[in-house]
Structure 1
Amino acid sequence: MTLDFDEGDELRDLRAAVADLAGRYGHRWFLEQARTGGTVQELWAEAGKAGFLGVNLPEEHGGGGGGMVELAVVLEELGAAGCPLLMMVVSPAICGTVIARYGTPEQRDRWIPGIADGTLTMAFAITEPDAGSNSHEITTTARRDGDEWVLSGQKIWISGVDVADAVLVVAKLADAGDSTLPGSGRRTLRPALFVVPTGAPGLSRTQIPMELVSPDNQFQLFLDDVRLPADALVGSPDAGIAQLFAGLNPERVMGAAYSLGTARLALDRAAAYARDRRVWGTPIGAHQGVSHPLAAAQVEVELARLMMLKAAWLIDHGLDAGTAANSAKYAAAEAVVHAVDAAVQTHGGSGLSQENGIGALVTASRFSRIAPVSREMVLNFVAQHDLQLPRSY
């Protein structure tokens, strides 16, 4: 078997086309939207019309027929231009993947074309206030009432509900009961996934104030006896865990792509400044105290990209991508934190000026270590699955 690390002309052309579109908007535009209460819907619509948002979705439903490799490339290039689209992590990557793979023909016809061209956006809701990273403890329930489903519960840290047409909600079936793994005392999650229109009676939201400079908002959701038709259930409740992870591994890959784009933006800005800024007649980039942190961050970016592309390739080929997807997310989060920190330090005081825009990346980069899965939970996964160490929780 030959390993080929050449992306090829198609991916290079895709990168160039996305970079061209994103370059017409850029980081200043992105920050202006964030600081004035604007949205990225103009760019979202253009990206959808160009076929970038649905590049991973089936052609027969309006998508590009590609996979996670192509979708990750799109988000990375958007981020490198300073205008990442966070809802790409959610709408086409998680929701689009799950519905395309497990939805009924009617569900695919109804939702996938709009997700693919950007005319429809779907949010994703799994995290709960009292469960956090322990998804086995979710309490949002779905019970049958005649031909309908009734959902009750709360969700938190749900992105983009204000721009979404529907939310893919993870609940547990009320009649499934709580089961535990033998000898462990730990609960097992038996999830079911439901498409909930954002205008459904009983569904309400509260925006969470954030220190994050971003036009994408976070919400807490309340489901108070939300009634849904029978066809709101996606796939089979008996295969819910497989359906859930079909979306979570792509989420981790896209989280990595988001981080890598931001890291590239920070390093590009810092390198340009270090080449031009002269102190005592010498460009500051000539000094190892400046150049080495930037170079080390660049190495981390390149390594993280390799793991991201590997994870995306595994997903696209139907192979186990759990370790690769988690490792990619971890590596990219570390890379962006180090890249942004080095970029701020390179700029000195101006690195925290609002005019420069680098300072706004500090919180965004730090958030990458927390979402969509914390670095600690990634390390737990690797310790248990790759090193075969005892589970600590």
Structure 2
Amino acid sequence: MSTDVPVLPLIESDELQAIRGSIREIADRFGPHYMRECYERDEPPNAMWEALSEGGFVGINVPEQWDGGGLGMLGLITVAEELAANGSTLLLLVVSSAINGSILAKHGTTEQKETWLRGVATGTKRLAFAITEPDAGTNSHNLRTTIKPNGNGKYVINGQKTFISGVEQSDAILVVTRAVLDDGNLGLPSLALVDTDAPGLKRDKIPMPYLGPDHQWTLFLDDVEVDEDRLIGGFNGGLGPIFDGLNPERIIGAALAIGGGRLALEKASAYARERTVWKTPIGAHQGIAHPLAKAKIDLDLAWLMTQKAAVLNDAGAKAGEASNMAKYAAAEAAIEAVERAIQTHGGNGITLEYGLSDLWWGVRLTRTAPVSAEMILNFVAEHSLGLPKSY
């Protein structure tokens, strides 16, 4: 842990402002309908990913030693929020850059960093992350996907995962398993990198209403073999690495939600300035203006907590409370911003033309994933307020 006192700058640095400008230029290059076009062609947004990679943005959080930008989660959430605010939410920034990048940087061996982290930093390797199971969502202690040595120098994985993002775009998946100990009991988690084309790995696409190019998958692992050098943290040693990936997941999820809320407010404000009813722009009516103003306040407050969580995480300080609070606040603020934007547009808010229904599905997800609002409230009640555990 760093001995330096974490500092949250209230004025964004020139470097981060320049990054925002570059992200806007990339988003403008592809246009507001790029993500929808990828969805309609059933293609991943590879061209945008490559443009971001060439600019050094997908690995901006990775240490410079491994070809990253060295700006930590504060840099990555700046990229993610600005992308989302310009209509381009990339889930691989969550799973490959934030989760896998953080885990590998802290817990990967030198060989694993050479093989995988450099690729994550440059965008030439993409990694998915698989923890959720049909019977183990919030209750991750109930994970039943197993890993055990086969006696021939390899490890065998069996189990099922669900709601796994970006598998179709990835080179490998970091799978969370449970170690089968010598006595047959299940031990601690183990993390294993599994190639997406590994024998014994099958996947089914989950139909989703969100009209975006990133798919969700159910994975079936049937006697999938991995070498020991694919284990992050070693056999029965993945508990620490998991937790070092979960806070970054919450932080970047908050940033993406806030970006979506910003975009909704921009659309709503522009519409309210132009749409005239009874000879008056509807934005002049407090019934329209006040809810939008409140949504702006709530988004800015959530962004402040998201920045705090990123700074604490980057400093190696305790970031669990701030990360959970940021994710909760961002989800609620973004959902309300999109709701108010839809209401401001009236019937137009429901049409595909105005793009607000797409935003609604994206921000609504953040109330549920990667951890539900209810579980965050449980966390705060227990750990922040010292109340009895309720589950």
Check 1:178–1:262 CA distance in 2 against 1; reply closer, same or farther (3 A cut): farther
Aligned ranges for residues 291-330 of structure 1 at < 5 Å? Answer: 291-330=289-328
* SS of corresponding position for 2:177: strand
Whether the aligned pair in 2 keeps the contact of 1:25 and 1:83 (CA below 8 Å) is: no
**C-alpha distance in structure 2 between counterparts of 1:311 and 1:176, whole Å:** 40
Corresponding position of 2:133: 128
Counterpart code for 1:112: L
Q: Which residue of the other structure, out of 42, 45, 66, is the alignment partner of 1:61?
A: 66
Corresponding position of 1:12: 17
- How many residue pairs match? The answer is 385
* SS of corresponding position for 1:359: helix
Aligned ranges for residues 104-115 of structure 1 at < 5 Å? Answer: 104-115=109-120
**C-alpha distance in structure 2 between counterparts of 1:255 and 1:85, whole Å:** 11
Corresponding position of 1:280: 278
In the TM superposition, what is the alpha-carbon distance from 1:306 to its structure 2 partner? 0.3
**C-alpha distance in structure 2 between counterparts of 1:56 and 1:379, whole Å:** 28
Whether the aligned pair in 2 keeps the contact of 1:58 and 1:65 (CA below 8 Å) is: yes
TM-score of the two chains, using structure 2 as the length reference: 0.95
- Deviates further, 217-226 or 272-281: 272-281
Corresponding position of 2:94: 89
Corresponding position of 1:182: none
Whether the aligned pair in 1 keeps the contact of 2:145 and 2:158 (CA below 8 Å) is: yes
Residue by residue over 1:339-373, the C-alpha shift from the partner in whole angstroms, topping out at 9 and shown as x without a partner, is: 00000000111111111111222222211111111
In the TM superposition, what is the alpha-carbon distance from 1:35 to its structure 2 partner? 3.1
Counterpart code for 2:20: R
1:160 aligns with 2:166: yes
Counterpart code for 1:53: V
1:150 aligns with 2:156: yes
In the TM superposition, what is the alpha-carbon distance from 1:38 to its structure 2 partner? 2.6
In the TM superposition, what is the alpha-carbon distance from 1:239 to its structure 2 partner? 4.3
**C-alpha distance in structure 2 between counterparts of 1:317 and 1:116, whole Å:** 20
Give unmatched runs, 5+ long, in structure 1. 180-187
In the TM superposition, what is the alpha-carbon distance from 1:177 to its structure 2 partner? 6.8
TM-score of the two chains, using structure 1 as the length reference: 0.95
Whether the aligned pair in 2 keeps the contact of 1:86 and 1:258 (CA below 8 Å) is: no
Aligned ranges for residues 111-260 of structure 1 at < 5 Å? Answer: 111-146=116-151, 147-175=153-181, 190-237=188-235, 239-260=237-258
Corresponding position of 2:387: 389
Residue by residue over 1:24-79, the C-alpha shift from the partner in whole angstroms, topping out at 9 and shown as x without a partner, is: 22332212222332321110010011000000112122111110000000000000
**C-alpha distance in structure 2 between counterparts of 1:285 and 1:177, whole Å:** 68
Q: Which residue of the other structure, out of 358, 362, 372, is the alignment partner of 1:364?
A: 362
Whether the aligned pair in 1 keeps the contact of 2:8 and 2:308 (CA below 8 Å) is: no
Whether the aligned pair in 1 keeps the contact of 2:191 and 2:231 (CA below 8 Å) is: yes
In the TM superposition, what is the alpha-carbon distance from 1:237 to its structure 2 partner? 4.1
Residue by residue over 1:134-155, the C-alpha shift from the partner in whole angstroms, topping out at 9 and shown as x without a partner, is: 0000000100112101000000
Whether the aligned pair in 2 keeps the contact of 1:79 and 1:261 (CA below 8 Å) is: yes
Counterpart code for 1:331: A
**C-alpha distance in structure 1 between counterparts of 2:253 and 2:182, whole Å:** 32
- Deviates further, 21-30 or 201-210: 21-30
Counterpart code for 1:130: D
Whether the aligned pair in 2 keeps the contact of 1:137 and 1:189 (CA below 8 Å) is: no
Corresponding position of 2:345: 347
**C-alpha distance in structure 1 between counterparts of 2:360 and 2:23, whole Å:** 25
Corresponding position of 2:85: 80
Counterpart code for 1:225: D
Whether the aligned pair in 1 keeps the contact of 2:179 and 2:187 (CA below 8 Å) is: no
